[in-house]
């Protein structure tokens, strides 16, 4: 017979009460664990999605020297000592340590051309890369459709060598429709598709195959810029940019922090929300423990009086209550961990629409135990103190 | 070692009830000898239970001093008062006050829980105590599986398991039939004969007759401390005469 066996016997005797406290802690811990795991999976999924959508690294030909102004006219350094960037240069990127973090490399050739007698910007792209990197590009119309067929975004990737995709404004300015024949720098092309309006500069562009544009301009193998989409969960985008810069002496590599910042801000908001929700759930659990323990103290007043009369110190009474709370806390923590993992793995992906399923994290088990036990002990501190402070004479109705 | 175990000097106890002050004990001065058994009788509200709780270290007096074994009880620092109760005093409460979810043996083990004995030593002491009250055979029963008399015996075993010099009993036979009450009182008498000091609060003159000394209280005052118990009708003679009691 010791303080532990007294506490255990009392838990066993009041199973319903113990179950109530445990349930409260299970809900609190399960909420915290499930939210943590779900947010973690969202962090990965969202990160990947944000990284996939658009580029986060841009490479342009390197320009040496300094900017020069002469007679009030500004001469960019790019125009006086511009290095050439070739498509073959990009092979070197495969050698960088974090190449696996790179999702898409999309080289481009941008040039001012004459379209049906009007000046316009033509962008040579590799369609299967460019349009996957920018899934917000959708077609308003495309040629070759039969009646009743819908617009298929994937058709953009099947851009023929003589095909052109026109931005919404460009098509409107030249009164083009899907299937229209146009002349670019004297060469015939077919408008294969017209993009939906994007509300950006892309609306005024024409897109064609990179190889076709290079041939049209007489600059085979040359590219004027590269957009790279990289997964930044594994490594910081700046680190990746530095690695690419090291293997591309002709290129000026710029990391676009904006995507990373948006990603961090979005995830931070989710994290803060989940922490808040977990705190609310744990506070409710703590209140449940507190009220149940206070009721237990009231119910056990006489028993506490007997213990005190038999020579139990105040600290012994506190220890009995803390042992009870601690044991229930451990049970609630363990069960809450299991429940939280189950909820996160079964429902988390469905509820959040996250593409990455929540994975079980064994190391969270001990944290769940610690958190649950801490909550139970803190919530029991006042009731335990109240129990220890009971006047034994009053408890035994001597007064 | 002094022949006096309990020395009460001018003990007073007041309770506040709103703006009123109720006097429960008024300047009680008493001495109880080592090995003496004394019954405290009086009407309800006479202060006898309050006196018992003060002697038991459960209820701090409003004034005066109480020495047990020459220790100033309420001058003990911190938790020493709890230790003192464990080592010096065995309580037998009204209504037995056994812990309902512990067996007879575990109830008897309770005072040893915090006493620092080894596990085998605790069990040996508890079993010995149960044997003294003839309850070894019922040691694994819960209180609700025991009769009133058996529960009382377990409560007595719990009171003596630490071998304290002093046993305080508050109406120990209040809820027992007269035959069982008689058996319990004989048990108390045996304990008294073994050298234990017993201070018992009772309403029942028959129970008081088992004690060597009778203290009568009224309105918080000791009104009589001279009566000797009468011989018992059962034929067993209550201890009479001066058995070393100090007045």
CA dihedral over A385, A389, A392, A394, signed as positive or negative = negative
Q: With a CB-CB cutoff of 8 Å, which residues 245-304 of chain A face chain B?
A: 302-303
pTM: 0.69
How much is the pLDDT for B167? 94
Q: N- to C-terminal Cα distance for chain A?
A: 30
Q: What is the pLDDT of residues B124-177, one digit of tens each?
A: 999 999 998 889 999 999 999 999 889 989 999 999 999 999 999 998 888 788
State yes or no: ipTM above 0.90.
no
Query: Do the strands A118-125 and A181-184 form a parallel or antiparallel pair, or are they unpaired?
Result: unpaired
Q: Which residues of A touch B93 (CB under 8 A)?
A: 306, 309, 396
**Helix axes B104-113 and B119-132, enclosed angle (nearest 10):** 130
For the purposes of burial, counting CB atoms within 10 Å of the CB of A97, is it exposed (0-12), middle (13-18) or buried (19 or more)?
A: exposed
Q: Which two tokens stand for residue B154?
A: 């377990």
Q: Cβ contact (<8 Å) for B86 and A311?
A: yes
Size of interface A-B (CB pairs under 8 A): 86
Alpha carbons B44 and B27: distance in angstroms, whole number: 19
How much is the pLDDT for A72? 46
Q: Which among A12, A312, A398 has the least Cβ separation from residue B82? A: A312
Q: Which two tokens stand for residue A41?
A: 């999976």
How much is the pLDDT for A70? 47
Check pLDDT > 50 for residue B218. Answer: yes
Tell whether B52 is within 8 A of chain A (Cβ). yes
Percent with pLDDT over 90 in chain A: 41
Tell whether B170 is within 8 A of chain A (Cβ). yes
Average pLDDT, chain A: 84
Query: For residue B95, what is the nearest residue in chain A, using CA coordinates?
Result: A396
How much is the pLDDT for B31? 92
Q: Which residues of B touch A309 (CB under 8 A)?
A: 56, 58, 85, 91, 93
**Which residue carries 């309050």 as its tokens?**
B50
Q: What is the pLDDT of residues B19-53, one digit of tens each?
A: 888 888 998 999 999 999 999 999 888 898 899 99
Most confident of A62-71, A147-156, A348-357: A147-156
User: What are the beta bridge partners of residue B16?
Assistant: B21
Residue A257 CB neighbours (<10 A): 14
Query: For residue A315, what is the nearest residue in chain B, using CA coordinates?
Result: B79
Alpha carbons B40 and A2: distance in angstroms, whole number: 35
Q: With a CB-CB cutoff of 8 Å, which residues 192-231 of chain B face chain A?
A: none
* Shortest Cα distance, chain B CAs vs residue A384, angstroms: 17
Alpha carbons B11 and B13: distance in angstroms, whole number: 7
b/e map of B24-34 (b: 16 or more CB within 10 Å)? bbbebebbbbb
Q: Which two tokens stand for residue A367?
A: 């944290």
Higher confidence at residue B229 or residue A155?
A155
* 3 state SS of A304: helix
Check pLDDT > 70 for residue B227. Answer: no
């Amino acid at each position: 017979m010791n303080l532990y066996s007294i506490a255990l016997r009392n838990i066993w005797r009041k199973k319903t009460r113990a179950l109530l406290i445990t349930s409260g802690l299970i809900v609190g811990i399960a909420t915290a664990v499930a939210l943590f795991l779900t947010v973690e999976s969202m962090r990965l999924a969202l990160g990947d999605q944000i990284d996939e959508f658009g580029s986060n690294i841009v490479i342009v030909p390197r320009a040496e020297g300094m900017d020069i102004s002469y007679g009030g006219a500004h001469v960019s350094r790019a125009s006086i000592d511009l290095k050439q960037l070739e498509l073959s240069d990009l092979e070197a990127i495969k050698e960088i340590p974090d190449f696996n973090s790179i999702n898409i490399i999309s080289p481009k050739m941008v040039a001012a051309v004459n379209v049906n007698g009007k000046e316009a910007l033509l962008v040579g792209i590799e369609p299967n890369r460019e349009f996957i990197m920018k899934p917000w590009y959708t077609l308003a119309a495309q040629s070759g459709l039969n009646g009743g067929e819908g617009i298929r975004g994937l058709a953009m990737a099947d851009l023929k060598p003589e095909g052109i995709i026109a931005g919404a404004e460009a098509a409107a300015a030249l009164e083009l429709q899907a299937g229209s024949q146009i002349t670019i720098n004297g060469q015939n092309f077919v408008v294969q598709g017209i993009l939906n309006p994007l509300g950006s500069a892309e609306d005024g562009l024409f897109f064609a195959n990179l190889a076709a544009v290079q041939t049209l301009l007489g600059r085979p193998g040359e590219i004027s810029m590269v957009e790279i989409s990289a997964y930044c969960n594994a490594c910081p985008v700046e680190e990746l940019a530095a690695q690419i810069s090291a293997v591309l002496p002709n290129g000026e590599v710029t990391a676009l922090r904006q995507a990373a910042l948006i990603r961090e801000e979005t995830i931070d908001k989710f994290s803060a929300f989940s922490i808040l929700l977990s705190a609310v759930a744990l506070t409710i659990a703590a209140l449940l423990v507190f009220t149940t323990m206070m009721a237990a103290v009231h119910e056990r007043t006489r028993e506490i009086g007997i213990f005190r009369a038999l020579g139990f110190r105040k600290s012994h009474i506190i220890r009995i209550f803390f042992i009870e709370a601690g044991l229930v806390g451990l049970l609630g923590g363990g069960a809450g961990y299991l429940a939280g993992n189950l909820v996160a793995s079964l429902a988390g992906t469905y509820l959040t629409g996250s593409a990455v399923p929540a994975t079980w994290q064994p190391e969270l088990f001990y944290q769940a135990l610690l958190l649950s036990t801490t909550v139970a002990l803190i919530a029991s501190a006042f009731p335990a103190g109240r129990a220890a402070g009971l006047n034994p004479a009053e408890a035994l109705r001597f007064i | 070692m002094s022949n006096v175990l309990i020395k009460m000097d001018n003990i007073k106890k007041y309770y506040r009830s709103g703006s009123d002050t109720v006097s429960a004990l008024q300047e009680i001065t008493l001495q109880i000898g080592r090995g003496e058994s004394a019954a405290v009788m009086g009407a309800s509200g006479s202060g006898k239970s309050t006196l018992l709780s003060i002697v038991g270290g459960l209820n701090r007096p409003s004034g005066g001093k109480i020495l047990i074994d020459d220790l100033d009880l309420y001058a003990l620092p911190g938790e020493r008062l709890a230790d003192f109760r464990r080592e010096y005093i065995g309580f037998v409460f009204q209504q037995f006050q056994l812990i309902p979810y512990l067996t007879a043996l575990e109830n008897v083990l309770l005072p040893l829980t915090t006493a620092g004995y080894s596990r085998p030593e605790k069990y040996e002491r508890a079993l010995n105590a149960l044997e003294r009250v003839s309850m070894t055979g019922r040691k694994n029963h819960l209180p609700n599986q025991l009769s009133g008399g058996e529960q009382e015996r377990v409560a007595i075993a719990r009171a003596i398991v630490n071998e304290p010099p002093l046993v305080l009993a508050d109406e120990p036979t209040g809820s027992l039939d007269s035959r069982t009450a008689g058996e319990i009182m004989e048990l108390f008498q045996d304990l008294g004969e073994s050298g234990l000091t017993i201070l018992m609060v009772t309403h029942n003159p028959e129970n008081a007759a088992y004690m060597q000394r009778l203290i009568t209280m009224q309105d918080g005052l000791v009104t009589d401390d001279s009566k000797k118990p009468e011989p018992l009708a059962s034929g067993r003679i209550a201890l009479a005469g001066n058995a070393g009691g100090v007045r």
